[in-house]
A and B are shown apart, each in its own frame.
Chain A
Amino acid sequence: MTAADVFKAPGLLLLAALLQVSVLWTIEVSNGHPDLLLVLVVVLALVRGPLLGSVAGFSAGLFLDVATFSTLGISSLLLTLVGYWSGRLGSIMSKSSPHPSLIAVGLATIAVALGSAFLHFVLGSTVGASELLGRVLLPTLVLNLLLAYPVHRLVCRLFPRTTRAAREVIVAG
C-alpha cells in the first residue's frame, strides 16, 4: 500500500458507495442488484492486499448499513472478511490477469449471500432458500461478474503496480 492509496482508495469507495445507494439499487433483475461496492472491495484487495482490502470492506460495509437503516455491523463484518480473504487470494494469484478478479468476485458474492443469510437467521430474519438462490443470488452473481472486469481495469489504472521487482528494475537501471 502506497501513500497515494490512502487518498485514492477512500475517494473511490465513497464514489462507488454513493453510486450504489442512489442508482444501482434501483436496477433490479429478478430480486438481484449489481453490488459495485462488493466488486470494488474484492478488486482493491486483490490489487493491494489484505490490509487495504479489510479496511475498505469495513468502511464500505458500515456505509451500506447506515445508508439502508440495516443492523449496523452485518455488512461491515461480511465485507471485512471478504476484503481480507480476497487480499490473501490476490497474493497467491497473478495480479495482471482479470481472471482472479472474476473468480474472487464470484466466490465473494456467494460467500456474502450465504454469510448474510446466516447472520440474518441468527438475528431472527429468514428468507426461503429458493428465493435466496434463484431470485437473489443468481442474478446478483451474474451482474457482479459483469462488473468485475471493468472495475478491475479501472482499479489497475488508478492503482498501478509497485511491486518489488519493478522497484528493483528501477534501482538497477
Chain B
Amino acid sequence: MALVLVSLALITVYFRESSGGTLHSAQRIGVSILTPFEVAGERVSRPFRDAYGWTADLVGAKSDNERLREEVEALRTQVIQNETAAEENKRLQKMLNYIGGSRYPVGFTAVPTQVIQKPPNPYAQQILVHAGTSNGVKIYDPVVTQEGLVGIVTDVTSGTAQVRLLTDQASAVSAEVLGTGASGIVARGPSDSSTLVLNRVPKDEVVTEGDLVITSGWQSGPLTSLYPKGIPIGKVSGVSRRDVDLYTRIQVTPLVDFGSLDDVIVLTAGDANKP
C-alpha cells in the first residue's frame, strides 16, 4: 500500500513540476549514470542486428535495392533543392526586400549521433541519442536523417538528448507541399503512429497523392521556426475534402522509418533560433 501511495505521489509531483524540478533533475542524473550501460549494450547488440538486416536485405536483392535507393535519394534531394530554390526566387522577386537573402537556415551545424534507446512504449514516441550538451546539443534542436525530419530535442544531459519524434502526439511542424504552395501543420494521425496528417490546408489548394511535404521554416518577426526550411517530411498518401470541414485534410506517409532509426543528425544552431 505504501509503495502504491509513493508511486501515485511520484506521478503527481512529476507531472505537475516543471522540467527543472527536483524529480526531473534526479531523473537526468539517473539517465546519465545509465547511459554508459545502454551504449555498451547497443554496441554489443548492433552487430547482431546488422547481420540480421544484411541477411534480410540479401534475400530481397540487396545490391539492386541499395543502388536504386541511393539514386532515388539523390534525385529527391535534387528536386527539393531545385524546386525550393525556384520557389524562393519567385517570392524574392515579388516581395522585393521582404526577404533579404536565402531562406535556407544558416548557422546550423550537424552533430551525427547514434540512437541508444528506441521508443519504450507507444505513448512516448521519443528516443534517446548519444549526444548532449558536451556536443553542443540544446533543447529544441531539430533532428534529421538523410531521409527526412525525425523530431526535435526536448531534454538534454551532458551526454544524451531526448528526441521527441514526429509521430508523438505533442509534435507539430509547420510544413508545405512542395511545388503547390499549400501549407499547414503536420501532426500525428488520429489512428496510429505510422501516418501523419497535414492539417489546416485551405480547400482551394490543389494537392495530389505522391506530392512531397517539406518543412516550411516560417519566420514571424523575431520568432523563427525551430525547423530549417526544406527538410522532407513525407509523401501525400491521401487527400480528403469534405463539405463539413473547413480545411483539406491530407494524410502524409513519413519518409523516415521511425521503427528502424539507428543514426540521426542533430542540427545545432545559435541561440537566436531558439524561442
Contact = CB atoms under 8 A, between A and B. Distances in A.
Contact of B41 (A19, A58, A72): A19
A74 B31 contact: no
Nearest to A54: B3
A27 B265 CA distance: 23
Interface in A101-116: 116
A39 interface: no
B96 interface: no
B120 A22 contact: no
B169 to A, nearest CB: 6
A119 B169 contact: no
Nearest to B23: A72
Contacts of A58: 3, 6-7
Contacts of A135: 122, 192
A127 B122 CA distance: 7
Nearest to B43: A22
A44 interface: no
B50 to A, nearest CB: 11
A72 B161 CA distance: 18
B10 interface: yes
B191 A130 contact: yes
Nearest to A127: B122
Interface string B1-31: 0011011111111110000000100110011
Given A25-B120, A126-B169, A131-B192, A72 B37 contact: no
A156 interface: no
Contact of A131 (B9, B11, B26, B191): B191
A26 B42 contact: yes
Nearest to B194: A131
B11 A71 contact: yes
A55 B128 CA distance: 28
B4 A68 contact: no
Given A58-B3, A68-B124, A73 B8 contact: yes
B253 interface: no
A76 to B, nearest CB: 5
Interface in A97-147: 116-117, 119-120, 123, 125-128, 130-132, 135-136
Contacts of A55: 3
Contacts of B126: 69
Given A22-B40, A72-B14, A80-B7, A67 B31 contact: yes
A157 B3 CA distance: 28
B211 interface: no
A131 B123 CA distance: 11
Contacts of A125: 123-124, 169
Contacts of B128: 68-69
B7 A61 contact: yes
Given A73-B8, A80-B4, A80-B7, A127 B123 contact: yes
Contacts of B12: 73
A68 B192 contact: no
A119 B14 CA distance: 14
Interface in A50-76: 54-55, 57-58, 61-62, 64-74, 76
5 contacts: A18-B37, A26-B49, A69-B31, A76-B3, A136-B122
Interface of A: 18-19, 21-23, 25-26, 28, 31, 54-55, 57-58, 61-62, 64-74, 76-77, 80-81, 116-117, 119-120, 123, 125-128, 130-132, 135-136
In order of increasing CB-CB distance, the 10 nearest A-B pairs are A22-B41, A73-B10, A77-B7, A73-B11, A66-B30, A68-B120, A72-B14, A120-B123, A58-B3, A125-B123
